[in-house]
């Protein structure tokens, strides 16, 4: 049954599937405006322009959107994902039939604006801790069905990924501990059942929890919603016996201070769930 469930989930990790779904959502039975106003053979150009400074992410996805509508559209860009873009710059130029350019405009921009928004947000975080060796990571707080793309944008922005899903890492959280009957029991049970190659991470809310997790062989300790002083104290208690991760209530205001406590990893849900879209626009011109 589990293998069958995994097979059913795989299509959600296909960008083609996601693009096709997005186009179907927007186009439906047809683009009644474009199809009635623009001759099918009419050719022209389009450019996507940055209306604010940003970190670009999703250029290939934008190209794929248009190519799903017309495989013959040609593209040109002086930029790659991860580049800093200045206001007024043309991030992507295209040439081909105007119908698919007009029909695909909004879907392509939706992908590009959202992913670039995440990359831009992430870059602003990473700059604050670039003087440290702390690894900034995302969480599973992502838009349903967009996780692969959003976590890609996190990497483009200069940070790293935490778990991709429930299937690729053990993270014993507060509700697991409550359901299982304690930290020690939860660690011992899961250790017997998983591969020896997997690490076990345990979420704790206080120093006592950290001590119990360490005593029972946790590989990673997640300090949940601890302030800077508590975090510094926990790092001393753990004393290098496990990887230390900070999570919960991390903002750009306290990020640098938390990084300076000696932790190894800081996870921030806001990298994906609170990143706004950047301002990009597309301009179309008919070939003369």
Condensed to tens digits (0 to 9), the pLDDT of residues 271-287 reads 999 999 999 999 999 88
Active-site annotation, residues:
106, 141, 173, 203, 224
- The pair of three-digit structure tokens given for residue 142, joined into one six-digit string: 């992502």
pLDDT of residue 10: 42
Q: How far, rounded to the nearest angstrom, does the alpha carbon of residue 161 sit from its chain's CA centroid?
A: 8
pLDDT of residue 13: 56
26: confidence class by pLDDT, cuts 50, 70, 90: very high
In angstroms and rounded to an integer, the radius of gyration of the C-alpha atoms of the chain is 23
Choices 3.90.1170.20, 1.25.40.90, 3.40.50.800, 3.30.428.10: CATH for 2-125+276-286: 3.90.1170.20
How is the chain split into domains, by residue range?
2-125+276-286, 131-273
Mean pLDDT taken over the chain: 94
Share of the chain above pLDDT 90, in %: 93
pLDDT for the residue numbered 8: 41
- Contact between 69 and 103 under an 8 Å Cβ cutoff? The reply is yes
Average pLDDT over residues 127-144: 97
Pairing between strand 84-85 and 265-267?
A: unpaired
Long-range pairs for 125-132 at CB < 8 Å and ≥24 separation? 125/157, 125/159, 125/252, 125/255, 125/268, 125/271, 126/157, 126/158, 126/159, 128/252, 128/255, 128/256, 128/259, 129/255, 129/256, 129/259, 129/266, 132/259, 132/260
pTM: 0.93
Measured CA to CA, the distance from residue 264 to residue 261 in angstroms comes to 9
Mean pLDDT of the 64-70 span: 98
Lowest mean pLDDT among 5-19, 67-81, 140-154, 168-182: 5-19
Tens of pLDDT, residue by residue over 203-249, are 999 999 999 999 999 999 999 999 999 999 999 999 999 999 999 99
CATH superfamily label, 131-273: Aldolase class I (3.20.20.70)
pLDDT of 9 reads 39
Percent of the chain with pLDDT over 70: 95
Average pLDDT score over residue span 81-101: 98
Q: Is the dihedral of CA 18, 12, 72, 112 positive or negative?
A: positive
User: What whole-number distance in Å separates Cα of residue 240 and Cα of residue 127?
Assistant: 26
């Amino acid at each position: 049954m589990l293998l069958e469930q995994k097979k059913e989930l795989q299509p959600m990790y296909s960008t083609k599937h996601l693009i096709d779904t997005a186009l179907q959502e927007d186009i439906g039975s047809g683009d009644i405006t474009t199809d009635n106003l623009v001759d099918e053979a009419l050719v022209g150009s389009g450019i996507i322009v940055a209306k604010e400074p940003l970190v670009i992410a999703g250029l290939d996805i934008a190209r794929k959107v248009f190519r799903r509508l017309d495989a013959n559209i040609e593209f040109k860009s002086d930029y790659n994902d991860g580049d800093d873009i200045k206001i007024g710059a043309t991030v992507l130029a295209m040439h081909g039939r105007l119908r698919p350019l007009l029909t695909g405009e909004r879907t392509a921009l939706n992908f590009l604006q959202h992913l670039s928004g995440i990359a831009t947000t992430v870059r602003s975080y990473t700059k604050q801790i670039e003087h440290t060796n702390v690894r900034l990571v995302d969480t599973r707080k992502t838009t349903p069905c967009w996780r692969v793309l959003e976590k890609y944008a996190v990497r483009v922005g200069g940070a790293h990924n935490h778990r991709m899903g429930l299937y690729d890492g053990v993270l014993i959280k507060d509700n697991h501990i409550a359901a299982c009957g304690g930290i020690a029991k939860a660690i011992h049970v899961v250790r017997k059942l998983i591969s020896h190659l997997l690490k076990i991470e345990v979420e704790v809310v206080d120093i006592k929890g950290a001590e119990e997790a360490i005593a029972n062989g946790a590989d990673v300790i997640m300090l949940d919603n601890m302030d800077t002083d508590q975090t510094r104290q926990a790092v001393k208690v753990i004393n290098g016996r496990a990887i230390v991760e900070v999570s919960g209530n991390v903002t750009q205001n306290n990020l640098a201070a938390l990084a300076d406590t000696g932790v190894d990893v800081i996870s921030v849900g806001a990298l994906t769930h609170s990143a706004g879209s950047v301002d990009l626009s597309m301009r179309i011109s008919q070939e003369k």
